[in-house]
Amino acid sequence: MTERSTEEVKSCCVTAYESDVAAMLLGESYHPGGLDLTLQLAKDAGVTAGTKVIDIASGTGASAFLLARELSARGHGIDLGAQNVEKATAKAAEQGLEEMVRFSVGDAEKIRFADESTDVVFCECAFSTFTSKEQAASEMFRICKPGGVVAFSDVVLEGTNVGEELLSLAGWIACIADAKPVETYVDYLEKAGFALQETQRHDDAIVKMVDLIEARIQAFSMIKQLPDSFDKKQAETLLEQARQAIKDDVLGYVTIIAGK
């Protein structure tokens, strides 16, 4: 990374996803397609009762809870955000899922799990924000058991001919500024050692997410619930530019499954 320091990007990303505004605008699941897409991805990746899943950049833990509830998978979520990890841990206890799902603070680029310690590595809408994607992909491969898979979803960005807000730090946090074409994501995973099994485009999911965030901004703004620190104008510009990029077929969403 050159223009922005690694530490600046990491800490802004964590702060943004721990804020109340993130929860207000995104709901419980912080990626396009929400929990429906999570469940589909998990089923496609072969997650069943007892499968061990490590969720990299688990956010509020919503996906790990879903996999435990719906598929009886055993999960461990790691995220750089200590507050979200604490909240997810408390939620696991409230839901009686503490034996099935754990959370800890951890960096995707230096994962504190042993080699070959999980059946499935899950990573939704976060790889695009990692400052060293090679390192993260190599760590995912290291912790995956032979015969296991990585189940991945992320924003797709085909080139940089987009509105400048999308390429700003805010765009980075929104998983857009350093998002990649599908082939580049596949390349990172293959260079780490994984073998591609399938890719699926879900571009409609990103359209729905933009609509939802826009509607929520309007609603919370009408009832004056948005904090003063929230830059409504910047958010609206970002959404408008995202809409244009989707229309131009430059911005989309993908799921990828690759095996070890």
Instruction: Write phi, then psi, for 72 (nearest 5 degrees).
Output: 55, 35
Assess 254 for contact with ligand SAM (CB under 6 A).
no
Assess 108 for contact with ligand SAM (CB under 6 A).
yes
Distance CA 242, CA 171 (A): 10
Cα–chain-centroid distance for residue 215? 22
Cβ-proximal residue to ligand SAM, closest one:
59
Assess 188 for contact with ligand SAM (CB under 6 A).
no
Assess 85 for contact with ligand SAM (CB under 6 A).
no
Give the pair of three-digit tokens for residue 28: 């419980």
**Cross-sheet strand order for the sheet of 118-124:** 101-105, 74-79, 52-56, 118-124, 144-157, 251-259, 195-201
| Of 107, 119, 158, 165, the one binding ligand SAM by CB under 6 A | 107
Give the pair of three-digit tokens for residue 10: 């990491």
Candidates 126-134, 142-150, 188-196, 219-227; binding stretch for ligand SAM (CB under 6 A): 126-134
Q: How far is the CB of 17 from ligand SAM (least distance, A)?
A: 4
| Of 21, 37, 41, 62, the one binding ligand SAM by CB under 6 A | 62
Contact criterion met (CB below 8 Å) for 88 and 57: no
Residues near ligand SAM (CB under 6 A) are 10, 13-14, 17, 29-31, 57-59, 62-63, 79-81, 84, 107-109, 124-126, 129-130, 175
